[in-house]
Structure 1
Amino acid sequence: MSLTSVPGRTDTASGTGVRSADPAHVRSSQSLGFLRVGTVRGPARSSFRAPAPAGIGPYLLLGLHASGRATLVRRETAEACRPGDLFVCDGAEPLVLQASQDCTLHLVWIPRRALTLTDQQARALSDRAPFADGSVAPLLGPLLRELVRAVPEYAPRTALHLAGTVAELVTLLAVEEADPGPQDGAEGRRALVRRLRAYVDAHLWDRGLTPASVAAAQHISIRYLHKLFESHGSTVGRWIRHRRLEEARRELARPGRDDTTVAAVAARWGFAGAAHFSRSFRAAYGMSPSDWRDIRAARPAPASGGAAD
């Protein structure tokens, strides 16, 4: 799958005539674990679209505008996009990037299944204008630059860990945007969420861990529990499943665990059974637990193409 420019036509979102970019400036996307990453380079007065990779399902598109100046058009709204800006788009909605200078754009396709976000949080993040501020963007931008440069060099297991890191940081972007900050007098609620998450982490092994048991342990109502988690970008059930999968994935990746059975890991982290665990793991990471466990550190052959900026 290639990142494609829009050849000499009038764009329906902006009504602006555009010409195609030099094909040498368009780089194909590559796999990074369960993500796809790619880079577009193009001259001024070009317009780019980013088609979805085959089989990815619902996804968010994360963009880093690396150099040049451009205008991002989403839902018929034009927004300036400057070097260093990040943006997130819902993959179900069309977008166009119109370059006013020679530009470089890094893109990451993230399956929704890998993000612990509610639909409301994902929508709010995709509505956010291009940005470079906050506590997460300054970390995520340099990471994306390095990832697109070095994708062919990563061993499969390393690539999956890095994909998980990117997904976690994108989740934090949504939480950061939704977090009202300390000035709203809600420090007590944030402290309670930290205690709730710590309680979940300490009881992941317990198959009886449910929203009701978590609420009871902290002496709050289930309704208030759900409200707290929704304001921090997740649901209680989704967070429990996410943390169980994350810990199971880490255990399967540890050296010397080749003889660890999937059933044993499923039981250790509170899943109802090996079949349920395997289905959940494949839905989240695009492969079975046994395949993830059996990945070796053999590096894939380097792909052709120049280094990204």
Structure 2
Amino acid sequence: MSLTTTMTTGSATSTQTLGFLHVRTVRGAARCVLHAPEDDAATEPAEPTEPTEPYVLLGIHSLGRATLVRRGSAEACLPGDLFACDGAEPFVLEEEGDFELHLVRIPRRALTLTDRQVRELGGRAPFTDGTVASLLGPLLRDITGLRPGHAPRTALRLAGAVADLVGLLVAEDAVSGPQDGGQDREALMARLRAYVDANLWDRNLTPASVAESQHISIRYLHKLFEGRGSTVGRWIQHRRLEEARRELARPGRDDITVSAVARRWGFASATHFSRSFRAAYGMSPSDWRDGRTTPV
């Protein structure tokens, strides 16, 4: 992540890696903190060891008040307020006094969010309340204070917990936001998702069977998911990968095989499961199970 500060005298920056998360903390006196995309030739180049893959950036202050400027708008950002940005978009934090800012980068592959969901999340005002934000904010502050050297498995589990909460944050925001189809449509979507969750094990789970379960046409089913920037097939795949990832992460399951998990969650084969898992999370299922990771 390319990050610069104006008047850098007296400022301090520390970084660490936690599983697939990259955590950066900036402390200092009143100044502007600028985030600029890596491909912006007007900014300093990113560190050579940092990746250029797409990511989402979460930010939270432990100390200080700032004005968050992005997409031509300015919003107040107080201690404890959580904000999210697409890593490809620039923003400026105008810090009003002494501050401590934590920025946590999550690879897009670990979130399986659509482009539309990332854009909408990056356009939201800082989260000041809400069930998920009240859990995610303190967790982010806590992980920034962890000392280096924690077990790889623990680091991966914590990173996975953050990724899960970001997904829930997006879902909570979608439900609590403006309704364009009324409560009936939202209730239908809830039933569709519940049916998918109850039948993830079934290799024959298809858009046709999902539509039939609610007595709607396949065309209308696709329209419902298109309105949320996704497809039925991608949602089924996403949920299968999430549940497989959770099972592999359970303590005391070191002897569980990748093939068994693939069968349990409806994948056609262990090969297909491993390929899909690596594409989503950047590592093999066995590496995730065993707590092995490489720096992001």
Query: Structure 1-normalised TM-score?
Result: 0.79
Equivalent-residue separation in structure 1 for 2:169 and 2:31 (angstroms): 31
Q: Give 2:56's aligned residue.
A: 60
Deviates more, 1:176-185 or 1:131-140: 176-185
- Are 2:153 and 2:290, in contact at CA under 8 Å, matched by a contact in 1? no
| Residue 41 (structure 2) aligns with | none
- 1:58-84 Cα distance to aligned partner (Å, 9 max, x none): 111111122212222223433332222
Conserved 8 A contact 1:67-1:83: yes
Q: 1:248 to 1:218 in 2, by over 3 A?
A: same
Show CA shifts across 1:219-254 (max 9, x none): 112233234445567532222112211222233234
- Maintained 8 Å contact 1:118/1:235: no
RMSD: 2.8
**8 A Cα contact 1:4 1:26, kept in partner:** no
1:85 to 81, 88, 99: 81
**Structure 1's 106 and 248: CA in aligned 2 closer, same or farther, altered over 3 A?**
same
Deviations 1:62-112 (CA, angstroms, capped at 9, x unpaired)? 111222122222234333322222111111112222212111111111111
Q: Partner residue of 1:278?
A: 274
Q: Map Cα deviations across residues 238-275 of structure 1 (whole Å, 9 max, x no partner).
A: 22112211222233234554343322321221112222
* Aligned mates of 2:19, 2:91 — CA distance in 1: 25
SS at match of 1:130: coil
Distance 1:132 1:151, change over 3 A: farther
Correspondence for 1:72: 68
The reply to whether residue 40 of structure 1 matches residue 16 of structure 2 is: no
User: Which residues of structure 1 form unaligned runs of 5+?
Assistant: 7-17, 297-309
In 2, are the aligned partners of 1:117 and 1:233 still within 8 Å (CA)?
Answer: no
Q: What does 1:1-309 align with in structure 2 at a 5 Å threshold?
A: 4-6=3-5, 18-23=6-11, 25-28=12-15, 30-49=16-35, 54-55=50-51, 57-150=53-146, 152=148, 154-180=150-176, 186-229=182-225, 234-295=230-291
Supply the distance in 1 between the matched residues of 2:227 and 2:173 (Cα, whole angstroms): 10
Give the Cα–Cα distance (whole angstroms) in 2 for the partners of residues 268 and 257 of structure 1: 14
Measured after TM superposition, the shift of residue 180 of structure 1 is: 4.8
Identity %: 69
Unaligned runs of 5+ in 2: 39-45
Give the residue type in structure 2 aligned to 1:214: V
Amino acid at match of 2:50: A
Give the Å deviation of 1:184: 8.3
